[in-house]
Copies of this chain bind each other. A is one copy, B any other.
């Protein structure tokens, strides 16, 4: 479990410190870095991919596998283009943009305070702006054999629309009755005008979405259920109450299809920002896809025989945003009793990229230490490190967020015990080699 010390004492002040750690330790760094990067695209390195995969697996376990009433899905990124006409994205998924006639730069009309000075008008900060025009955020491509006649297609702007496409098929094959849900995790793409705040606003990102279909009379009940469930998830990840809040949308903020919406926000160094949205989408999506496809997407109540289009409660969490929140929340430069400091990531053990580092005190102890590492590897992610002094090796693991270090020392061959050191408290205890696996497994679990 993360330490209980007051979290405010370790709040990250400058994003640059985290960006630097992420690059240095291989959590996240710019895509195509050797070519100067590509704005809005980020790669996850060896530690980052484990963090992200752990988070996705916990979501999947909690939302899909642990329940009888949710089915999984993995749909393609490119769907039939009618999908995005039905959803309203072709018509409405756009930002208001203005161009500067002088410097030729483009800005979001609602973010002109971020525009900075005009580079073509020296000594003046005033741009010569056009009237706002709409700019669609979907990425497009062309599919098909003939270059001339190839069909326009879109990279999905959200993972939920293919869920509506597949609603009827999934309901039938899974023999589910209302209420039930369909969930998927996957990439989505938006041509953000101004990608910023590290991975927070990027052009290629990963979502985990659940669409839960229910009877109109039960929508409020399920909205409350999923709000509570998702909050429980974020709390279980270890987020402190002081940096997590919910913000219901005011009626004039709601998307046109939305009956009610609530953001789960996290306190980033750049302010409170949404990491997840809970939405009552009503029957908008199924009705529209029904109209555009000519298929009847309604259902029949088996008892009353009433025919109706189900209402949709959606939970939509940004995987990259939650990873970023986890890292922000975990980061601490901690003063130590000896006057030194350590950089430590207080990540929940269940999301930590490496669960345990096995550290022989000397390379001479390599054989039994490697054997222990090999045993542990069957059940968890293990790092083996036999180089450098033990203090430095602990520091490297602190910075990677590794919750446990197991040190194999010169007494271990004799007494069959190793030292297990816990990251947050730095407390050490001697444990029999045969008990290490069970000891750790208990401590890296995530609640059901």
Is A109 part of the binding interface, using a Cβ–Cβ cutoff of 8 Å?
no
- How many angstroms between the C-alpha atoms of A142 and B135 in the bound complex? 13
- Decide yes or no: A295 and B38 within 8 Å by CB, A26-B170, A173-B25, A187-B187 being known contacts: no
For window 281-297 of chain A, which residues contact chain B by CB distance below 8 Å? 289, 292-293, 295, 297
Binds B, one of A72-80, A248-256, A304-312: A72-80
Are B34 and A168 in contact, CB atoms less than 8 angstroms apart? yes
* Shortest CB distance A3–B (Å): 26
Q: Mark A381-399, 1 if CB is under 8 A from B, else 0.
A: 1101000000000000000
Q: Mark A15-43, 1 if CB is under 8 A from B, else 0.
A: 00000000111100101111111111111
Is A203 part of the binding interface, using a Cβ–Cβ cutoff of 8 Å?
yes
B37, B44, B65, B141: which contacts A140 (Cβ < 8 A)?
A: B141
- Decide yes or no: A106 and B146 within 8 Å by CB, A46-B174, A78-B38, A166-B45 being known contacts: yes
- Decide yes or no: A26 and B141 within 8 Å by CB, A43-B73, A75-B31 being known contacts: no
B77, B104, B135: which contacts A147 (Cβ < 8 A)?
A: B135
- Decide yes or no: A74 and B43 within 8 Å by CB, A140-B142, A141-B140, A289-B34 being known contacts: yes
Binds B, one of A48-56, A218-226, A415-423: A48-56
Q: Mark A114-149, 1 if CB is under 8 A from B, else 0.
A: 000000000000000000000100011111111100
Is A438 part of the binding interface, using a Cβ–Cβ cutoff of 8 Å?
no
- Which chain B residues lie closer than 8 Å to A78 at the CB level? 31, 38, 41, 189, 203-204
- Which chain B residues lie closer than 8 Å to A184 at the CB level? 49
Is A340 part of the binding interface, using a Cβ–Cβ cutoff of 8 Å?
no
Q: Is the interface of A mostly helix, strand, loop or mixed?
A: mixed
For window 72-114 of chain A, which residues contact chain B by CB distance below 8 Å? 72-80, 82-83, 97, 99, 104-106
Are A26 and B169 in contact, CB atoms less than 8 angstroms apart? yes
- Which chain B residues lie closer than 8 Å to A443 at the CB level? none
Are B33 and A166 in contact, CB atoms less than 8 angstroms apart? yes
B42, B162, B194: which contacts A145 (Cβ < 8 A)?
A: B194
For window 181-221 of chain A, which residues contact chain B by CB distance below 8 Å? 184, 187, 189, 191, 193-194, 203-204
* Shortest CB distance A173–B (Å): 3
* Shortest CB distance A293–B (Å): 4
**Listed residue (A37, A43, A79) with the most chain B CB atoms within 10 angstroms of its CB:** A43
- How many angstroms between the C-alpha atoms of A144 and B60 in the bound complex? 33
Are A80 and B46 in contact, CB atoms less than 8 angstroms apart? no
Are A38 and B80 in contact, CB atoms less than 8 angstroms apart? yes
- Decide yes or no: A32 and B165 within 8 Å by CB, A77-B187, A106-B145, A173-B45 being known contacts: yes
Is A448 part of the binding interface, using a Cβ–Cβ cutoff of 8 Å?
yes
Are B293 and A26 in contact, CB atoms less than 8 angstroms apart? no
B37, B43, B150: which contacts A75 (Cβ < 8 A)?
A: B43
Are A26 and B173 in contact, CB atoms less than 8 angstroms apart? yes
- Which chain B residues lie closer than 8 Å to A106 at the CB level? 145-146
Are A32 and B191 in contact, CB atoms less than 8 angstroms apart? no
- Decide yes or no: A31 and B79 within 8 Å by CB, A52-B74, A166-B45 being known contacts: yes
Is A155 part of the binding interface, using a Cβ–Cβ cutoff of 8 Å?
yes
- Which chain B residues lie closer than 8 Å to A32 at the CB level? 79-80, 82-83, 162, 165
* Shortest CB distance A178–B (Å): 16
**A50 to chain B: closest residue by CB:** B72
Are A193 and B65 in contact, CB atoms less than 8 angstroms apart? no
**Listed residue (A34, A71, A174, A194) with the most chain B CB atoms within 10 angstroms of its CB:** A34
Is A377 part of the binding interface, using a Cβ–Cβ cutoff of 8 Å?
yes
Q: Can you list 9 A-B contacts with CB-CB less than 8 angstroms, sorted by A residue number?
A: A26-B173, A31-B76, A38-B153, A43-B76, A52-B74, A66-B377, A78-B203, A141-B155, A144-B191
